[in-house]
Amino acid sequence: MIVVRKGKFLFGICVALGVAIEPCALNTAIAAPTEASQSAAEFSAAETLFNKGFALFQQGHLQEALPIFDDVIHRFGNISTPSMSELMAQAYVSKGAALFKLGQMNEALSAFDEVDRRFQDEADEQNPALCPIVAEALVNKGAILDTLGRRDEALTVFDTVILKFQDTTAIVLQRQVARAFVNKGSVLSRLGRMNEAISAYDDVIVRFENEQDSQLRVQVAKAFINKALALGKLGQLQEAVATCNDMIHRFSNAQEPQIQQWVEQAHKAPSMLRTLVAVELINRGDSLGKTGHFDEAIAAYDEVIRQFKDVQDPALQEQVARANDALSITLCDKGETLFKLDRFEDSVAAFNDVVNRFGETQTLPLKERVAMALCLKGVALDKLGHREEAIAALNDVITRFGTDQEPTLQRWVVKAREAIAKLRT
C-alpha cells in the first residue's frame, strides 16, 4: 500500500473534464532532506527558487514563472536525492500547467512527458511522495493529448494512471484515479464508444460514491451527469433521466459550488436529454434519406414526432418542427424517386402521404411541399391513365392556394393550370 506523507510543501494541478488544468492544493509533501549538509543546502536553494516561481504562477504571471521553473530544472535536475526528485517533478508539472494556460499545448505536453519519463518508475512504495505528482502529470498529459485530437494515446495514459494507482487508499491518489476515469469516459464518448464511456463513469460512482472528500465528490457528481448524457445519446432516455434523479437525490444538499452546478444541470437534464434524442433521430433520418433509405428515414422522423409532439418545451417543439419539415422533404423525394422508376402507384401513395399529413398546415415550407406533391401526384395519375383523377389533384392545388399571395405557391398554381390545360386538349 502506498502511503503519502503530509508536510509543509503543498502543490497540485487539477484536471477538469477533458481539458482544463487548474491549480489546487494537494497533500503532496516534500520531506525534509536527510542527506549531507551540501545536499540540504542545494535543496533549500532549489525549494526557495521554486516557491518564487510558484507564487508568480498563482498570481497569473505565467511568463515570469516559466524561466524560474526552467532555472530550477537546469540547476538542480541532476541531483538524484528523493527530496530533489520530488521537487523536480513539481517543477515540470508547474511548467506544464503554465504552458497549458498560455495555449502552448505541445510544449506543455513535453513537460508532462518529462515527468512520465524521468519519475514514473520511481513512483512506488519506496517513494510515495512522488506518486501523486506523477499521477497528476499523467492525467494532465492525457488531457492535452485529448485536446490535440490524439484520443487513443490519451486513453492509454488514463489507463496507465488507473492500473498503477487504483488500489491506493491515499486520497491525493484517489483524486487522480477518479479524474482519470472521468476523462477516460469523456474521450470514449467523443469517440462514439458510449457503452465503454458509461462503464468508466460507473467505475467512478462505485469506487467513490461514499467518499466525503470534496474533490472526489465533484468527480462522482460529474460522472453521474456524463453518464446521463451518454445514455441519452444511446436513446436510453428513461435510464438517463433516472441517473439524473439519482444524482439529485445524492447531492441535493451539497455545499460545494461545483456540485451545486451539476445538480442544477441534472434538474435541467430531462429536457436537455429529450432534445438530444430528438436531434440524434433527425440526424439519423437525414443520413438515411440522403442514401435513398426513405422508409427508415421516415420512421426516424416519425419517432421524433410521436415522442415529443405533445411536450410543452420550446426546444423540443423546435425539433418536432424540424422533423416535420424533414419528413415532408423525404416523402416528396420518395415520391419523385418512385416516379422515375415508373412505379407510379407507389409514387401516388407517397404524395398522398404528404397531403394527408400536412394538408392542413399553415407553415409556408410545408404548404409548398403539399402543392408540389399534388402537382406531381397529378402527373403520376396521368401516367396511370387516370386523367380525371389527375385533373382533380391539380384542381386541388388551385383550390388550396389559388388566392395565396406567396410567390412560391403561385408558381405551383400556374403549373397546375398549365397541366390541366394540356390534359383537356
Q: In the prediction, which pLDDT does 279 show?
A: 87
Maximum average pLDDT range among 34-43, 115-124, 293-302: 293-302
Judged by average pLDDT, the poorest of 37-41, 280-284, 300-304, 358-362 is: 37-41
181 has a pLDDT exceeding 90: yes
CATH number belonging to the domain at 13-191, selected among 1.10.10.60, 1.25.40.10, 3.90.1640.10, 1.20.140.10: 1.25.40.10
Helix (H, G, I), strand (E, B) or coil at 21: strand
Maximum average pLDDT range among 73-77, 185-189, 248-252: 185-189
Give the residue extent of every domain in the chain.
Answer: 13-191, 342-425
Nearest to 326 by CA among 360, 354, 306, 345: 354
Helix (H, G, I), strand (E, B) or coil at 396: helix
Return the bridge partners of 15, or none: 21
Q: What is the rounded distance in angstroms from the CA atom of residue 194 to the CA atom of residue 104?
A: 31
Helix (H, G, I), strand (E, B) or coil at 96: helix
pTM here is: 0.62
Q: In the prediction, which pLDDT does 122 show?
A: 76
Q: At what angle do helices 257-290 and 214-233 cross, to 10 degrees?
A: 20
305 has a pLDDT exceeding 50: yes
Q: In the prediction, which pLDDT does 14 show?
A: 33
Q: What is the rounded distance in angstroms from the CA atom of residue 231 to the CA atom of residue 234?
A: 5
Q: What is the rounded distance in angstroms from the CA atom of residue 112 to the CA atom of residue 336?
A: 59
Residue with cell 530533489: 84
Mean pLDDT of 354-381: 94
Residue with cell 492525467: 139
Judged by average pLDDT, the poorest of 121-125, 142-146, 340-344, 393-397 is: 121-125
Q: What is the rounded distance in angstroms from the CA atom of residue 357 to the CA atom of residue 72?
A: 73
Residues 305 and 323 sit within 8 Å (Cβ to Cβ) = yes
Q: Summarize the chain as % helix, strand, coil (round to 5).
A: 75, 0, 25
**pLDDT range class, residue 146, cuts 50, 70, 90:** very high
Q: Which residues contact 284 (CB under 8 A, 6 or more apart)?
A: 297, 300
pLDDT digits (tens, 9 = 90+) for 74-86: 998 888 788 888 8
What percent of the chain has pLDDT above 90? 59
- Secondary element (H or E) of residue 195: helix 194-208
- CA dihedral 126→132→133→138, nearest 10 degrees, is 110
Nearest to 98 by CA among 134, 69, 130: 69
Maximum average pLDDT range among 19-33, 109-123, 212-226, 271-285: 212-226
